[in-house]
Amino acid sequence: ISGTVTIDDEKCSRCGWCKAVCPYEAVDIIKPFEGEIELIENRLADCDPVGCHGCFNVCPAHAWYVPPDKKIDVNKDYCIYCGACEKACHVYAIDVKRSDVQHTEVRDLPWSSQWNDAINAIKTGDRSRPDTDRRVEMEVEGPVRPEVHEIGLREKHEHLDEIRSRLDNLMPMLCDVKTRYEWERQNSGSVIKRIDKMN
């Protein structure tokens, strides 16, 4: 008897089901990821495995099931730690952590650091985003401020007392809300008339 076993790498997820059911123990599986998967108990109250089926439908290893004594559970022997169920769970009751990933040796090449970053991103889930900011920083000089010259107060000016008296009479009107409103509305004619009456 002769035969050949052909594996379709596009469909095989390395879950380990074939290893578990093979009666001759002729299969050995190396999973792509190593890690842990846990159910967060205090969030399972909102889990509806009968109506939702999110984790069931998305799991490539078909590792989820409903046991007789629990609401939901996962067969950790078949889990490949892909994280699809964690992202599909709308009540955030699944926690998947990867500790290692199987990969070919990263050779010492100019782009090896990018490969190492990608491998670490697969482990941790933290991805560094490329800098897409296209702004060009330019040195901008501040506004040129004119020189301020102090104006000497002429205490002995012959009209100083009269000017101060008029300003004292004018200030309450300039602080009036109605006057400021008319001035901002460019209705200065009525304001000027009131000033003329004060003289």
CATH, range 17-103: 3.30.70.20
Q: What is the mean pLDDT of the chain?
A: 84
Q: Report whether pLDDT(199) > 70.
A: no
The HSE-up count of residue 39 (CA atoms within 13 Å, CB side) is 17
Is 40 or 182 the better-scoring residue by pLDDT? 40
* Per-residue model confidence as pLDDT tens digits over 94-112: 999 998 888 888 888 888 8
Cα–Cα separations (whole angstroms), residue 85 to 44, 119, 189 = 14, 21, 75
pLDDT of residue 155: 65
Residue 150 has a pLDDT of 61
The pLDDT of residue 152 is 59
Locate 77 and state its tokens. 């022997």
Instruction: Name 8's Cβ contacts closer than 8 Å, sequence gap at least 6.
Output: none
Q: Which sign does the torsion angle of CA 104, 110, 114, 120 carry?
A: positive
Q: Is residue 33 within a helix (H) or strand (E), and if so which, with residue range?
A: strand 33-39
For the chain, domain boundaries? 17-103, 160-198
